[in-house]
Amino acid sequence: MDSIVWRVDEVTSIDSTNSWLVEQARSGAPEGRAILAGFQRAGRGRLDRTWEAPADSALLLSLLLRPAALRGASWAASAVALAARAALVRLSGVRPQLKWPNDLVVDDEKLGGLLAELATDDPPAVVVGLGVNLTAYPPDLAATSVRRRSGVTLWPRALADIVFEEVEFRRRLLDDERGLAALRDEYRGASATLGRSVRVTLLERTVVGDAVDVDDDGALVVDVDGDRRAFRAADVVHLRPQSAVGGA
């Protein structure tokens, strides 16, 4: 694939960066369109949860990718999560792990989160929203910030520019099986969930088991009393300290 030409809209305030960019994608916006906000009035996480952060205290970024097939689209959020992780290491030394399905964590404290939305499926267009606590974090949650962990104050645009660099490298992996296998291996090494006993909550039931892998589509594989089950959408709670399976 050719290099991505990033076109970034920067706004002081917006309802939701993802909602805005999904509409742009449906109107034919090219890969590389992105929006960076200082504040979101109605930021969203998974399951319609809200994402709130004081103005200019967090990276609030959504970007548009157009993988060749839906299989690549299913890994787009993971590619952006890994890119954000690498960018944070480069700029601050903070090395978060990835809590399945969509969180960046440090010692089980939430540093950031992602939300992927499929805007179109033929051809695929996926919008990935990324939020990272830079200088503040919710005091009533198990959360943290880059400044708390490192003493480094990052400007959102500076971090976004390095995220774009790291995304471009991983974007190339989304279009073929060999690339997806490499991305899966990187994800395994960065996982905070693999090797943990977990509680998996679905709409209709809750199960407890050991997280042992992610499958080819990015689903979490959990061993439940010897029965391996793949979960593609669920809430996951870590129940015991991590073993040596992941976390490089």
CATH code of the domain covering residue 122: 3.30.930.10
pLDDT grade, residue 50 (50/70/90)?
low
Same domain, 170 and 47: yes
Q: If we measure between CA atoms, which residue out of 224, 159, 174 comes closest to residue 198?
A: 224
- Domain final residue, candidates 172, 190, 208: 190
Looking at the domain assignment, is residue 70 inside a domain? Answer: yes
Same domain, 148 and 208: no
CATH number, domain of 226, equals: 2.30.30.100
Looking at residue 241, its pLDDT comes to 67
Same domain, 131 and 224: no
Residues 6+ away with beta carbon under 8 Å from 160: 8, 34, 36, 59, 61
Looking at residue 56, its pLDDT comes to 87
Looking at the domain assignment, is residue 220 inside a domain? Answer: yes
Same domain, 137 and 231: no
Looking at residue 43, its pLDDT comes to 58
Residue range 119-169, pLDDT digits in tens: 999 999 999 999 999 999 988 789 999 999 999 999 999 999 999 999 999
- What is the number of structural domains in the chain? 2
Looking at the domain assignment, is residue 245 inside a domain? Answer: no
105 forms beta bridges with: 97, 110
d(CA 222, CA 198): 8
Same domain, 170 and 52: yes
Looking at the domain assignment, is residue 22 inside a domain? Answer: yes
Residues of the domain holding 214: 197-238
Looking at residue 246, its pLDDT comes to 47
Looking at the domain assignment, is residue 2 inside a domain? Answer: no
d(CA 233, CA 121): 18
Looking at the domain assignment, is residue 244 inside a domain? Answer: no
Q: If we measure between CA atoms, which residue out of 201, 21, 191 comes closest to residue 116?
A: 21
- Is the pLDDT at 14 greater than 90? The verdict is yes
The SS3 of residue 84 is helix
Percentage of the chain exceeding pLDDT 90: 85
Looking at residue 120, its pLDDT comes to 97
Looking at the domain assignment, is residue 1 inside a domain? Answer: no
Same domain, 167 and 234: no
Looking at the domain assignment, is residue 15 inside a domain? Answer: yes
Average per-residue pLDDT in the chain? 92
- Is the pLDDT at 44 greater than 60? The verdict is no
Same domain, 100 and 141: yes
Residues 6+ away with beta carbon under 8 Å from 108: 99, 142, 192, 238
**Mean pLDDT confidence for 50-73:** 90
Note the pTM of the prediction, 2 decimals. 0.92
